[in-house]
Amino acid sequence: MLDEKRILLIISGGIAAYKSLDLIRRLKERGARVRAILTPAAQQFVTPLTVGAITGERVFTDLFDLTAEHDIGHIRLSREADLLVAAPATADLIAKMAHGFADDLATTALLATDTPVLIAPAMNPRMWAHPATRRNMARLTADGIATVGPNSGAMAERDEFGEGRMAEPLEILAAIEAHFKVREAPPLKGRRILVTSGPTHEPIDPVRYIANRSSGKQGHAIAAAAQAAGAEVVLVAGPVEVPDPRGVRVIHVESAREMIAAVEENLPVDAAVFAAAVADWRVADAAEQKIKKGADGAPALHLVENPDILASIARHHTLRPRLVVGFAAETERVVAHAREKLARKGCDWIVANDVSPATGIMGGDANTVHLVTAGGVEDWPSASKSEVARHLVARIAAELAGGNA
């Protein structure tokens, strides 16, 4: 799989840098050619001499190295590679990538390339959870940057535990191999996939609306993963702050009625993934002006049901997709409710998760899902929403290939 593949490994400054030595060894065992860039901070943890001894190549550290820059070495380094891998990718490196900084050799190489990039984040749990890091990761995901990890566990700092550990070398290796497998034989090439994402906003008056806490991160990640797997993707997105995925046609809507209209207009498709958290109800007659407080207290809102998008498409007589996937966001009896929903809606699969506030899943970057089908239930391990998306897309590709649809 990796024979003669050219990997440019960017090692940034974190204690996890020592794991990169094992990653290099494993890449070399599989026939890959590895060059490495060390940031100044990385050299506090591993030395160019050590990295060079394992790669068998010169190690690059300085943007202004005259012997390398006589032929614009930073451009050549990034463009001669088949894949750029940043492991570990610190909070600092991620921030610089998200904002287009190019103030050292590593960031310049990352900015000067159109080669695919895979990052393995590694940092303190509080840094990983910080809103700035969350924004930066959302930007990178939308830019098409692939991610592996981080994992949960003990940190180098005493008594620190949580999400932020760099993925293990074998996990990163698996992600690299999966990248080349998809690039060489896109499993969804020639397929058309529709994805819905985010919440819907159902107006009460021109100022207020009924909504939910969906961020759209999982749905957008699925759309991006399907596009990366070679599909033509249409994403119907409710109001979200997540950037549009690159290479995906995005239709922005507000309400459930707008969403179902957009979905129906974009049929037929090979598979439809309904990840949006559509509001079940709307106000029957939304006020044309802002509702004012009155002496009679709170106004009575008459609610009516919204269209059931998942059931409508799953039971469509002429344009039903070959594969219809729904989502079930539950707070109790997750699998039991998902099984009931599978039967009630008439879809093929349900991706169920527990969105109780304590899980941090709704609006967060990780997810723990159960894939419920007519054949049973698969309990998937906790992973980033990008990894869940790639796993789901791989299953969709296998299903469509098996049905030759």
- Active-site positions read 212
Give, as one character, the DSSP assignment of residue 82: S
Separation in Å, CA 62 to CA 25, 33, 106, 393: 24, 21, 9, 40
Cα–Cα distance list, 159 to 155, 239, 244 (Å): 8, 40, 38
Helix (H) or strand (E) holding 390: helix 385-403
The secondary structure of 172-238 as a DSSP string is HHHHHHHHHHHHHS-TTTT-EEEEEESB--EESSSS-EE-----SHHHHHHHHHHHHTT-EEEEEE-
Q: 398: helix, coil or strand?
A: helix
- Do 328 and 352 contact (CB within 8 A), yes or no? yes
- The three state secondary structure string of 119-174 is EEECCCHHHHHCHHHHHHHHHHHHCCCEECCCEEEECCCCCCEEEEECCCHHHHHH
Cβ–Cβ under 8 Å, residues 355 and 333:
no
Tokens describing residue 92: 């600092």
Residues in the chain: 405
